[in-house]
Amino acid sequence: MAQIVIKSLRKDFGAFTAVQSSSFTVEDGEFFMLLGPSGCGKTTTLRMIAGLELPTAGEIFIDGAEVSQKPASQRDIAFVFQMFALYPHMNVRKNISYPLVSQGMKREQVRAKVNEVAEILGITALLEKPVGGLSGGDRQRVALGRAIVRDPACFLMDEPLGALDAEFRERMALELRALHDRMGATTVYVTHDQLEAMQMGDKIVVMNHGVVEQFGRPQEIYDWPATTFVARFIGSPAMNLLTFDGMVGNGSTAVTLSGTPVAVPELISGASGALTLGVRPEHVRLDDAAPLRGRIVASEYLGTTQIVSLDSAHGPVKARTRSDVAVKVGDLTGMAFDPRSITLFAGNGRALISAANQKVLAHG
Amino acid sequence: MAEVRLQNVLKSFGSTAALADVSMTVADGSFVVLLGPTGAGKTTLLRIVSGLDRPDAGAVSIGGAAMKGLTPAQRNVAMVFQQYSLYPHLTARENMEFPLKSPLLRTSKPEIARKVAEVAEILQISHKLDNKATALSGGEMQRVSIGRALVRNPAVYLMDEPLSSLDAKLRADLRVELKNIQANLGATFLYVTHDQIEAMTMATHVGVLDHGRLVQFGTPREIYEHPVSIYAAGRLGQPHINILPADLFGPAPQRAAFIGLRPEQIQQGEGQDSLVKRVEHLGDQTRLHLAFNNHDLTTVTHAHTPLRAGDIVKIQPLRPFYFDAAGARIV
């Protein structure tokens, strides 16, 4: 059990800055996701928390103690890597026992502890088997077992499900999360998969180019992105970003696109010049009467819903509609947006504060 | 472009039947996706159409002409494999030009340049055309090998998981592009994938293969809404269809052994109590993991549901599927 506080953390590799100035807090017992594209600094951040890399500047507190310059062995953490590294010449029990044996724990105690962990993971029947013949999922369970058995203050996981195929990954994600709910240990988890982050995380940090773009609860980040990067990175399909020239200020409740007023949540900040209107595909309605026009270029059937792609004067737009709504490629149609859900972004890509996103973005 | 027809095709490797009596027509201008897990026979079928493998029995025709004894080159098919195979000493442009420079085709130089530029634009590799193949990333190499197929005008395009090595964003873009290319050209596509999103979004028809047998052939909507079996129902839909004992919610039709419920076939707010085990906010919707009479099931609800783990929610089946003990659809 532990709270982890990251303050102004920075890491340079020669002239390259991998992490610029990260600050965020992982509360005790949270399942916390570090999310971003490759090269964004998420793994470097995790490795600094683990003590596998020493930061160039900044502080890391685990349960109040500053540990940024301490070696990994003094941090009471357990690391689970993407490649489940097991000792191939040992059976499952010996693999899981190893960290306890090397701590010098008594044999009886080790035995009891390993049995308990195997029970939690549902691998009791495999304990005396060699690791060579195990399936990918069972190998991953054994690797987890070896991490859990030490009762560390926190778990650090670097894309532990990255090597698994889609269907199996889904199942392991659920299992891992259920395990966390039973044990309640603080977990920091690195992934580049936004769906995995949304699905498993209590909180998410979105990173890009070594910078924390946003930090918060999954649904909040999805609904109220702080930057156009987050808007694009979270959600599939991504948030629509329509570019236009305009001016908005305190109290504005509409913007003008192609001469048409579009209602937005009341603004409490202002900007002018090249602006961007962000709206999620499920908040775009195809409505022949709507004055803002788009031409349908494709529709993708997804079962209950479909994704309709349109071209507009402000860039491409995707709408998620019910799949029984008939659409014809080539048709010109109107697009109506749910005004409550819109985010406006200034030219620098940062969201403008409005009455709707104020609560979410104020603490970031 | 042309129709592809398979009649009673059989193929075994040793004692394993890779294809067991497959008959299928890929209509001219259609986009047929073959779905099934590893070992279902998808790739074998593609290789038999291409001429890389020969069927043990049965016949393949393309555009009405029997293909028996013809080599891949004689069949006028364009193939894209999962593993890109480019000429490493040539640039991306030269790789893409290669099929057009065949003496058989007699394509003029300006026409070649136009074709390559157009396809490169679609595949977002225009700026990489003069790079050596070896100086490209994996995703770029794969796009060049797709491009090399697209510059041609074959009777049929055969593609074996062409997008599986690309990242999610590019895959989503190319899905739409490939579909548009196919629709605009009126091209015939036979396409193999594991990815159900690709199947649902691109296919005019999906062929579901199970251990070498074609178990269902129809539009994605037909397969999603009217699956013939538990197996076919499980090929499409995310989250996965819930398969439960037939009488779990009450009386079931005669012979029914299982009830099949896609997430949207579980109505909330009415019926019997279930326990919310976990709530996953995915942004556009929320996934609910429920426990009901000692069974786990998954459904979806709106994005801003107030439900939390530990809550009780009433559920009941809504127009469910029923299957017999062998997994075949009854109702």
Q: For B250-273, write each residue's pLDDT tens digit.
A: 999 999 999 999 999 999 999 999
Domain A4-223 matches domain A237-362 at the CATH topology level = no
| Contact between chains at A280 and B283 (C-beta distance less than 8 A) | yes
Q: Which among B221, B262, B284 is the nearest to A301, CB-wise?
A: B221
Does B200 sit within 8 Å of A300, measured CB to CB?
Answer: yes
B297 — pLDDT class (breaks 50, 70, 90): very high
Q: Token pair for residue A188? A: 């920091």
Of residues B169 and B132, which shows the higher confidence score? Answer: B132
Query: Which pLDDT does position A1 carry in this prediction?
Result: 63
Which listed CATH number (3.30.70.980, 3.40.50.300, 3.30.260.10, 3.30.70.580) goes with B4-234? 3.40.50.300
Q: What is the model's pLDDT at position B171? A: 83
Q: What is the DSSP string of B93-159?
A: HHHHHGGGG-TTT---HHHHHHHHHHHHHHTT-GGGTTSBGGGS-HHHHHHHHHHHHHTS--SEEEE
Report the run of H or E that residue B287 belongs to, with start and end.
Answer: strand B285-292
The single residue listed with the structure tokens 């062929």 is B207
Q: Would you call the peptide bond into A55 cis, given omega within 30 degrees of 0 as the criterion?
A: no
pLDDT digits (tens, 9 = 90+) for B45-96: 999 999 999 999 999 999 999 999 999 888 989 999 877 778 989 999 999 9
Mean pLDDT of B203-225: 96
Note the pLDDT of residue A364. Answer: 46
Q: Please give the class, per CATH, of domain B240-323.
A: mainly beta
Helices (H), chain B: 42-50, 92-97, 109-122, 138-150, 168-185, 196-202, 220-225, 230-235
Beta bridge partner(s), residue A215: A205
Mean pLDDT of chain B: 92
Model confidence at B104: pLDDT above 80: no
- Looking at CATH, the fold of the domain delimited by A237-362 is given as OB fold (Dihydrolipoamide Acetyltransferase, E2P) (2.40.50)
Q: Using alpha carbons, select from A5, A19, A18 the residue that is nearest to residue A59.
A: A5
Residue numbers in A near B194 (CB within 8 A): 165-166
Chain B interface test: which of A182, A301, A341 (most B C-beta within 10 Å): A301
The complex scores an ipTM of 0.83
Please list the pLDDT of chain A residue by residue as tens digits (364 residues). 689 999 999 999 999 999 999 999 999 999 999 999 988 999 999 999 999 999 999 999 999 999 999 998 888 888 887 656 788 889 999 999 998 998 899 999 999 999 988 988 889 999 999 988 888 778 888 888 888 888 888 899 988 887 666 777 787 888 889 889 888 889 999 999 999 999 999 999 999 999 999 999 999 999 999 999 999 999 989 999 999 999 999 999 999 999 999 999 999 999 999 999 999 999 999 999 999 999 999 899 999 999 999 999 999 999 999 999 999 999 999 999 999 999 999 999 999 999 999 999 975 4
Q: Looking at the partner chain, which of B220, B283, B287 has a beta carbon nearest the beta carbon of A301?
A: B220
Q: What is the pLDDT of residues A83-136, one digit of tens each?
A: 567 888 899 999 999 989 988 999 999 999 999 889 888 899 999 999 888 887
Nearest-CA residue of chain A relative to B197?
A302
Number of other CB atoms surrounding residue A125 within 10 Å? 9
Residue B307 has pLDDT above 70, yes or no: yes
Please give the class, per CATH, of domain A4-223.
Answer: alpha beta
What pLDDT is recorded for position A144?
Answer: 85
Angle, helices A107-121/A92-103, rounded to nearest 10 degrees: 130
The region that residue A32 occupies, defined by phi over 0 for left and psi between -120 and 50 for alpha, beta otherwise, is: beta
Q: Please, where in chain B does CATH 3.40.50.300 lie? A: 4-234
* pLDDT greater than 80 at residue B165: no
Instruction: Output the pLDDT for position A78.
Output: 86
pLDDT at residue B38, rounded to an integer: 82
User: What element of type H or E holds B28?
Assistant: none
Q: Which amino acid is at A328?
A: K
Q: Which of A178, A193, A234 sits opposite B283 (nearest CB)?
A: A234
Report which of residues A36 and B152 the model is more confident about.
A36
Q: Six-digit token pair at B140?
A: 């770029």
pLDDT of residue A106: 94
Tell me what pLDDT residue A163 has: 66
Rounded to a whole number of angstroms, the distance from the CA of A303 to the nearest CA of chain B is: 6
> Phi/psi at B328 (nearest 5 deg)?
-85, 145
Interface residues of A toward B, Cβ cutoff 8 Å, are 165-167, 170, 174, 177-178, 181, 193, 195, 198-200, 217-219, 222-223, 234-237, 280-282, 297-298, 300-304, 307, 309, 320, 323, 329
* Percent of chain B clearing pLDDT 90 (strictly above): 72
Q: How far is A114 from chain B (nearest CA, A)?
A: 27
Q: Which residues of B touch A (CB under 8 A)?
A: 168, 172, 175-176, 179-180, 183, 194-195, 197, 200-202, 220-221, 224, 236-240, 262, 264, 278, 280-284, 287, 289, 303-304
**Which one-letter amino acid corresponds to residue B252?**
A
